[in-house]
Amino acid sequence: MEKNWYNKSREEVFQEFGISEDIGLNDEQVLKNREKYGSNELQAQKKKSLFVKFLEQFKDFMIIVLILAAVVSGIVGYIEEGKITDSIIILVVVIVNAIIGVAQEAKAEKSLEALQKLSSHSAKVIRNGQVNVIASRELVPGDIVVLDTGDYVPADLRIIEAANLKSQEASLTGESVPSEKNAATIENEKVGVGDRNNMLFSSSLITYGRGKGVVVATGMNTEVGKIAGIISNTVKSETPLQTKLNKLGKTLGIAALVICVVIFVIGLIYGKAPLDMFMTAVSLAVAAIPEGLAAVSTIVLAIGVQKMVKKNAIIKKLPAVETLGSASVICSDKTGTLTQNKMTVEKVFYDGKLIDIKDIKDSEAQDLKRLVHISMLCNDTKVSASNELTGDPTETALVDMGFKLDFTPELYVSYPRVEELPFDSERKLMTTVHKVGDKYLVYTKGGVDELLKRCKGYEFEGNVKYDLDSYTAQITQQNEQMAQNALRVLAMAYKDLDHMPSKEEMKEIESDLIYVGMVGMIDPPREEVKLAVEKCKSAGIKTVMITGDHKITATAIAKALGIMEDGDEAITGAELEEMTDEQLIERVKRIAVYARVSPEHKVRIVKAWQANGEIVAMTGDGVNDAPALKTSDIGCAMGIVGTDVSKEAADVILTDDNFSTIVSAVEEGRRIYDNILKAIQFLLSSNVGEIIILFLAILIAPLLASKFRIDIKLIEPLLPIHILWVNLVTDSLPALALAVDPAEKDIMNRKPNKKQKGVFTKGMTWRIVYQGLMIGLLTLTAFILGLATKDVPVIEGKTPEEVRVAIAQTMAFVVLALSELVHVFNIRNNRKSLFTSGLFSNLILIGAILLSACLMFAVLLVPLFRNIFDIVPLPTANIIETICLVFAPMVIVEIFKLFKINTIKGE
Catalytic residue ranges:
333
Tell me the DSSP string of 17-55. HT--TTT-B-HHHHHHHHHHH--S-PPPPPPPPHHHHHH
Cβ atoms 137, 41 nearer than 8 A = yes
Report which DSSP code applies to 150. Answer: T
Dist. CA 332–CA 313, nearest whole Å = 15
Dist. CA 57–CA 98, nearest whole Å = 5
Cβ atoms 213, 151 nearer than 8 A = no
> Which residues are paired to 390 by β-bridges?
382
Cβ atoms 718, 808 nearer than 8 A = no
Helical packing angle, 369-377 and 393-404, nearest 10°: 140
> Which residues are paired to 571 by β-bridges?
594
Q: Which secondary structure element, helix H or strand E, spans residue 753, and what is its range?
A: none
Distance of CA 710 to the CA centre of its chain: 60
Dist. CA 27–CA 32, nearest whole Å = 9
Helical packing angle, 85-118 and 292-310, nearest 10°: 30
Q: Is 457 helix (H, G, I), strand (E, B) or coil?
A: strand
CA nearest 554: which of 618, 615, 488, 499? 488
Strands 179-180 and 542-546: unpaired
Dist. CA 139–CA 30, nearest whole Å = 8
Phi, psi of 683 (to 5 degrees): -65, -45
Distance of CA 848 to the CA centre of its chain: 28
Dist. CA 631–CA 487, nearest whole Å = 31
Cβ atoms 780, 689 nearer than 8 A = no
Amino acid residing at 721: I
Tell me the DSSP string of 858-898. HHHH-HHHHHHHT--PPPHHHHHHHHHHHHHHHHHHHHHHH
Dist. CA 366–CA 345, nearest whole Å = 17
Q: C-alpha dihedral over 750, 604, 570, 447, to 10 degrees?
A: -130
Helical packing angle, 274-288 and 61-81, nearest 10°: 150
Dist. CA 505–CA 433, nearest whole Å = 12
Phi, psi of 627 (to 5 degrees): -60, -40
Cβ atoms 347, 354 nearer than 8 A = yes
Cβ atoms 167, 206 nearer than 8 A = yes
H-type helices in 82-145, by residue range? 85-118
> Which residues are paired to 200 by β-bridges?
157
Phi, psi of 542 (to 5 degrees): -85, 130
Q: Is 60 helix (H, G, I), strand (E, B) or coil?
A: coil
Dist. CA 274–CA 893, nearest whole Å = 39
Strands 487-497 and 513-522: antiparallel
Hey, how many other C-beta atoms are within 10 angstroms of the C-beta on 900? 10
Cβ atoms 480, 384 nearer than 8 A = no
Cβ atoms 869, 813 nearer than 8 A = yes
Q: Is 162 helix (H, G, I), strand (E, B) or coil?
A: strand
Dist. CA 47–CA 309, nearest whole Å = 25
Report which DSSP code applies to 886. Answer: H
Residue partners of 460: CB distance under 8 A and separation at least 6: 351, 352, 471
